[in-house]
A = this chain, B = another copy of it.
Amino acid sequence: MIVGKLYVVGTGPGDPDLMTVKAQRVLRHVDVVVGYRTYVDLIEEILPEDVEIKRYGMREELDRAREAVRLAADGFEVALVSGGDPGVYGMAGVVLPIAVEEGVEVEVVPGVTAACAASALLGAPLMLDFAAVSLSDHLVPLEEILERVRAALEADFVLVVYNPNSSERRHIFEAFVDVLEEIVEEDRPVGIVRNAYRERQSVEVVRVRELRDLADRIDMRSILIVGSSRTRMVGDWLVTERGYSSRTGRNSSE
Contact = CB atoms under 8 A, between A and B. Distances in A.
Contacts of A237: 96, 100
A16 to B, nearest CB: 7
Interface string A101-123: 00000001111111011011101
Nearest to A65: B244
A162 interface: yes
A86 interface: yes
A97 interface: yes
Interface in A160-176: 162-163
Interface in A85-143: 85-94, 96-97, 100, 108-114, 116-117, 119-121, 123-134, 136, 138-140
B100 A254 contact: no
Given A112-B20, A129-B134, A152-B151, A93 B252 contact: no
A179 interface: no
Contacts of A125: 87
Interface string A211-254: 00000000010000000000000110101111111011111111
A96 B110 contact: no
A45 to B, nearest CB: 12
A120 B86 contact: yes
Classify chain A's interface size.
Answer: 35 or more
B20 A100 contact: no
Given A100-B234, A124-B96, A239-B97, A91 B156 contact: no
Contact of A21 (B21, B89, B92, B108): B21
B131 A130 contact: yes
Interface in A49-81: 58-59, 61-62
Contacts of A138: 247-248, 250-252
18 contacts: A15-B22, A16-B21, A18-B21, A18-B22, A58-B252, A59-B249, A82-B254, A87-B119, A88-B119, A89-B253, A108-B120, A110-B120, A113-B113, A131-B132, A138-B248, A148-B155, A148-B156, A151-B157
Given A89-B252, A96-B235, A136-B251, 5 more contacts: A85-B254, A87-B126, A91-B253, A131-B131, A151-B155
3 shortest interchain CB distances as A-B pairs: A151-B155, A93-B124, A93-B127
